[in-house]
Amino acid sequence: MRTILHVDMDAFYASVEMARDPSLKNVPMFVGGSARGVVLSANYPARVYGITAGMPSTRARRLCPQVMVVHPDFDHYTEVSKAVSAVFDTLTDKVEMTSIDEAFIDLTSALRRLGGDAGIVAEGMRAQIMDEQRIPCSIGIGPSKFIAKLASKAAKPDGLKVVAPDAVISFLHPLPVDAIWGVGEVTAEKLHRLGLMTVRDIANTPRPTLQRALGEGQGRLLFDLAWGQDDRSVLSREPAERSIGSQETFGCDTDDEEVVATEILRMAARTAARMRAQSMVGQVVTLSVRFADFTTITRTGTLRAPTDLTGEIHAEAMRLWRKLHLQRARIRRVGVRVEKLAEKDDTYVQPTLDEPTCGWEQAERAVDRAVLRFGPTAVQRARLTVRAAQAT
DNA sequence: TCTGGGGTCCTAGGACCC
DNA sequence: TCTGGGGTCCTAGGACCC
């Protein structure tokens, strides 16, 4: 039997900001606040007003006009996250950071080695994180990742919850269906239409019925989870990234082709720069377009060879854009993403006879160096400077 | 002033091949 | 002058998570 911990930082971004500026502690506050953005993280005083993560900022301000809004500082959050994961690393190497503020830890072999009780180890961790970073977290302990994750949610805020192997079913079955990881709004609604409200209801439904309603894969997964069956292991090596992309919502919807084209260039440049920074190349380019009514379409195209160059990614994204033949559609957001990534060093690039490389690669690397030294506006394509100039 | 930006994974359908 | 069945690959869409 395994002993898995799930550590979940409470209101992570908001907590980090409150640790930095304690005057934010007792007033309603959220991190977020771009014009058309959403709440990224809200502190508990803000939650009293009904403000929750994912809610449009405009609505949050309406619910609580005096709320303090803090703009996110992701570099700082990443630093704190690394410091927190260093605490886990002192106990075992079986640590899987699943996001900036969550981790699974498999303590099975560490406990066998050192002896002791998982609950005491977990309380020690919570105390150390509070001591070093001044932020609270909640920890769930269970015999699988699935149960540990549900337990950490039950432990919130700032708590610990242990679910022993013989208590799994009694803990699990009363929960609502959307407590299950992977059941969101749409799937929950499908389950409700079948009359299934709790995990127990799912467990008591024949598996083939679930598979007909939800598809073979998801139906099987849900049935197994409803009986507490989950043998996924804690992956200490993080899996290779599969895609890199950028997208941005316009300040207001636009039907101006020029504005859209400029934004596609900006997204291609941002994506390519991040790929170069990580020494990755990619061969599949996806353009996504979200319309004013929130419908979204995507188009993908495959390059002849993997690349990390703005010019090539941009050219493909624009080819996909022109292929849409949109006529004065109102557009909310565009995005560019590159998939089928590979390490640049492992990739042999076929030299082509018809296209001399004409120094683009060297030019873009020089730009990267200038941006590192002088900041993101140091060197830009002429087209991208227009908007900045207009704004001044 | 409704609804971000970073991702992963799954499924359905069509093309193509045997 | 009839038309199965699989397998694989690709694309588009969508659900979901933090």
Per-residue pLDDT of A321-339, as tens digits, reads 999 999 889 999 999 999 9
- Residues of A (332-361) placing their beta carbon closer than 7 angstroms to any atom of strand B are 332-333, 335, 337
- Compute how many other C-beta atoms are within 10 angstroms of the C-beta atom of residue A199: 26
The 3-class SS string of chain A reads CCCEEEEEECCHHHHHHHHHCHHHCCCCEEECCCCCCECCEECHHHHCCCCCCCCEHHHHHHHCCCCEEECCCHHHHHHHHHHHHHHHHCCCCCEEEEECCEEEEECHHHHHHHCCCHHHHHHHHHHHHHHHHCCCEEEEEECCHHHHHHHHHHHCCCCEEECCHHHHHHHHCCCEHHHCCCCCHHHHHHHHHCCCCEHHHHHCCCHHHHHHHHCHHHHHHHHHHHCCCCCCCCCCCCCCCCEEEEEEEEEEEECCHHHHHHHHHHHHHHHHHHHHHCCEEEEEEEEEEEECCCCEEEEEEEEEEEECCHHHHHHHHHHHHHHHCCCCCCEEEEEEEEEEEEEHHHCCCCCCCCCCCCCHHHHHHHHHHHHHHHCCCCCCCHHHHHHHHHHC
Q: Measuring from the CA of residue A299 to each C1' atom, give the nucleotide at the shortest distance.
A: C12
Catalytic residue among A17, A79, A96, A102: A102
Q: What is the mean pLDDT of residues A304-317?
A: 95
pLDDT(A391) > 50: no
Per-residue pLDDT, A38:
96
How far is the CA of A180 from the CAs of A61, A148, A184, A216, in angstroms? 31, 12, 8, 17
Q: What is the mean pLDDT of residues A354-372?
A: 68
Determine whether the distance from the CB of A21 to the nearest atom of strand B is below 7 Å.
no
Per-residue pLDDT, A106:
97
pLDDT(A382) > 80: no
Determine whether the distance from the CB of A296 to the nearest atom of strand C is below 7 Å.
yes
Q: Measuring from the CA of residue A35 to each C1' atom, give the nucleotide at the shortest distance.
A: B1
Q: Measuring from the CA of residue A244 to each C1' atom, give the nucleotide at the shortest distance.
A: B7
Q: Which residue is nearest to nucleotide B3 (CA to C1')?
A: A56
pLDDT(A389) > 70: no
- A216 catalytic residue (yes or no): no
Determine whether the distance from the CB of A247 to the nearest atom of strand B is below 7 Å.
yes
Cα A299 from Cα A284, distance rounded (Å) = 10
* pLDDT tens readout for residues A70-93: 999 999 999 999 999 999 999 999
pLDDT(A360) > 60: yes
Are the C-beta atoms of A6 and A103 separated by less than 8 Å?
Answer: yes
Average pLDDT along chain A: 92
Per-residue pLDDT, A366:
75
Kindly state the tokens that stand for A222: 């849900």
Per-residue pLDDT, A351:
57
- Total-model pTM: 0.91
Per-residue pLDDT, A103:
97
* Distance from chain centroid for Cα A169: 30
Taking the CA of residue A304 and the C1' sugar atom of nucleotide C15, their distance in angstroms comes to 31
Kindly state the tokens that stand for A229: 């069956």
Q: Please report, rounded to a whole number, the percentage of residues in chain A having pLDDT higher than 90.
A: 84
Determine whether the distance from the CB of A218 to the nearest atom of strand B is below 7 Å.
yes
Per-residue pLDDT, A373:
65
Q: Please report, rounded to a whole number, the percentage of residues in chain A having pLDDT higher than 70.
A: 92
Q: What is the mean pLDDT of residues A246-263?
A: 96
Per-residue pLDDT, A377:
65
Least confident of A112-116, A149-153, A329-333, A371-375: A371-375
pLDDT(A384) > 80: no
* β-bridge pairing A102-106 and A137-142: unpaired
Per-residue pLDDT, A350:
58
Any residues with CB less than 8 A from the CB of A251 and at least 6 apart, and which?
A35, A36
Q: What is the mean pLDDT of residues A97-110?
A: 96
* pLDDT tens readout for residues A297-306: 999 999 999 9
pLDDT(A238) > 50: yes
Cα A95 from Cα A89, distance rounded (Å) = 7
Per-residue pLDDT, A23:
96
Residue holding tokens 């590159």? A338
Least confident of A7-16, A23-32, A34-43, A352-361: A352-361
Per-residue pLDDT, A49:
96
pLDDT(A138) > 60: yes
pLDDT(A62) > 90: yes
* pLDDT tens readout for residues A190-235: 999 999 999 999 999 999 999 999 998 999 999 999 999 999 999 9
Type of residue numbered A263: E
pLDDT(A375) > 90: no
